[in-house]
Amino acid sequence: MRTRPKPKRVLLKLSGEALIGEQSFGIDDNAVRAFAAEIAAVARTGTEIAIVIGGGNIFRGMAIAAQGGDRVTGDHMGMLATVMNALALEAALVREGLDARAMSAIEMPSICETYIHRRATWHMNKGLIVVLAGGTGNPYFTTDSGAALRALELECDALLKGTQVDGVYTADPRTDPTAELYEHVTYQEAIAKGLAVMDTAAFALARDNGLPIIVFNIHEPGALARIVAGEAVGTLVSAA
């Protein structure tokens, strides 16, 4: 069995689309509960977890820009969608018996805590799971970039990017049956080859700070637990 280092503290990037489940839009409570159960199983092993969540199941800011609308307004609306998802996941984690805190890069104190680096670190040091919404709090940055930024701020050992496929492929395996899965790829290769599993800014930020990225299928039962146990699941993106 191929192995990798066991991360003690991880940041899980969870797409908004993963929360759709069997629906065509919005939040499927069954899907949220399933993810919460997987995360809870890992947290109970002692792994410290932060989660950055997207909002594509509700709204994508780029949709407005693509129609000629204002990109900044669209991105702000997308950030609000991530807060809705974070609240749903926080509630599901609490139902699993865990302590969790939704934190937003956009201040809305009557709904959830504002993201402050030291407070989020304090929560994690106490064993709480932090669910981070609002991306970076700025337009023109994706939640992938927000995930890389938060992983570095919170001194995570790895960024775990949950996707709809088993890792990084040479092409989209859903449309190209000849696509091959990479076991490992360097940051520079990912950027140069235009491997679109994360945006270039996120790859570059990880590269410049030596943050390993593991891309895996978030829908594969037990995959998250296997990663933190040191199994070689999905694709590792690193310097070498």
Helices (H), ranges, 58-199: 61-66, 71-95, 117-125, 143-153, 187-192
**Residue 133, beta-bridge partner list:** 104
Q: Return the SS3 of 73.
A: helix
In a domain, 22, yes or no: yes
In a domain, 207, yes or no: yes
> What CATH number has the domain bearing residue 89?
3.40.1160.10
Bridging pattern class, strands 184-186 and 158-163: unpaired
- Tens digit of pLDDT for each residue in 87-127? 999 999 999 999 999 999 999 999 999 999 999 999 999 99
- Tens digit of pLDDT for each residue in 25-80? 999 999 999 999 999 999 999 999 999 999 999 998 777 777 888 999 999 999 99
The domain tally of the chain equals 1
In a domain, 1, yes or no: no
- Domain limits at 198? 9-238
In a domain, 4, yes or no: no
**Residue 181, beta-bridge partner list:** 169
In a domain, 188, yes or no: yes
How many CB atoms are closer than 10 A to CB 151?
A: 28
Q: What are phi and psi of 187, to 5 degrees?
A: -55, -45
Q: How many CA atoms lie within 13 A of 120 on its CB side?
A: 27
